[in-house]
Amino acid sequence: MTIKIEYFSDVLCIWAYGGQVRMDELKQTFATDIEIEYRFVPIFGAGKQHVENVWKDEGGLKGFNAHLQQVAKNWDHISVSDELWLSVSPQSSTAVHLYLKAIQLLEKKSGSCYQALPEFNGRTRFEQAIWLYRDAFFRLGKDISQRQVQNEIAQQLDYSLDSVLALLDSGEAFAALHADDVAKQSYNVPGSPTLVLNEGRQMLYGNVGYRIIDANVRELLHNPVQGEASWC
């Protein structure tokens, strides 16, 4: 039996950026037992405006930058640019989410969406794409809401820009992103990152430790009957 996990996140969310190491470990541990469906939620759908509004009484963009710097110090495996939300203030994460949905559709059409590749340390090419966009923003300080930056990263992974843009122009990427929003509302996903398991019966939100995620997956593998009460 394969356990389906729906993973909701915003590409501009530092908790998802730092938490990627947990997703990598999860895939390595349960390589043949889980299937991860990546979905996006627009926590930073109004990027710069959202940060200014939420942090207006705590230093605004500078205050949020200081917060991110402090959060990053808690993790040894990531670093963040000094320019985040200062000289680099993405207007919207929705722009890059839409672009990533086009890439995801390309992978699904080719049948390789769930194919782990050794050159990406066991990630799929789509998972590596998500990581590269996050890393470009957080570590390199690039505005990934800009189409030029989006294209540059896609080309690093040898994606055909014509194929990506065709899925944007046709509306297919918009429809796929809308499906993510429908799923978010159906499950009442509270924010980023959130893992949804067991068709919505189990939900893990926020900076959740790996052992908790591991325990939830193991419980489902132990009790695979849908609807059965879980001790986890």
Q: In what order do the strands lie in the sheet with 3-9?
A: 34-40, 3-9, 194-197, 202-205
- pTM of structure: 0.93
Kindly list the structural domains of the chain, giving each domain's residue range(s) and its CATH number in brackets, ordered by start. Answer: 3-222 (3.40.30.10)
Does residue 208 carry a pLDDT above 70?
A: yes
Cis check: omega of the bond before 193, within 30 degrees of 0: yes
| Cβ neighbours around 124 below 10 Å, total | 20
Q: Are strands 3-9 and 194-197 parallel, antiparallel or unpaired?
A: antiparallel
> DSSP per residue over 13-79, as a string?
-HHHHHHHHHHHHHHHHTTTTEEEEEEE--TTTTHHHHHHHHTTTTTHHHHHHHHHHHHHTT-SS--
- What's the mean pLDDT in 176-192? 98
Render pLDDT for 131-158 as a digit per residue (tens, 0 to 9).
999 999 999 999 999 999 999 999 999 9
Render pLDDT for 27-78 as a digit per residue (tens, 0 to 9).
999 988 999 999 999 999 999 999 999 999 999 999 999 999 999 999 999 9
- Residue length, the chain? 232
Backbone angles phi, psi at 13, to 5 degrees: -90, 120
Unique residue bearing structure tokens 């790996």: 210
DSSP 225: S
> DSSP per residue over 181-194, as a string?
HHHHHHHT--SSSE
Backbone angles phi, psi at 48, to 5 degrees: -60, -45
CA–CA separation, 90 vs 49, rounded Å? 9
Best CA proximity match to 161, nearest among 174, 149, 171: 149
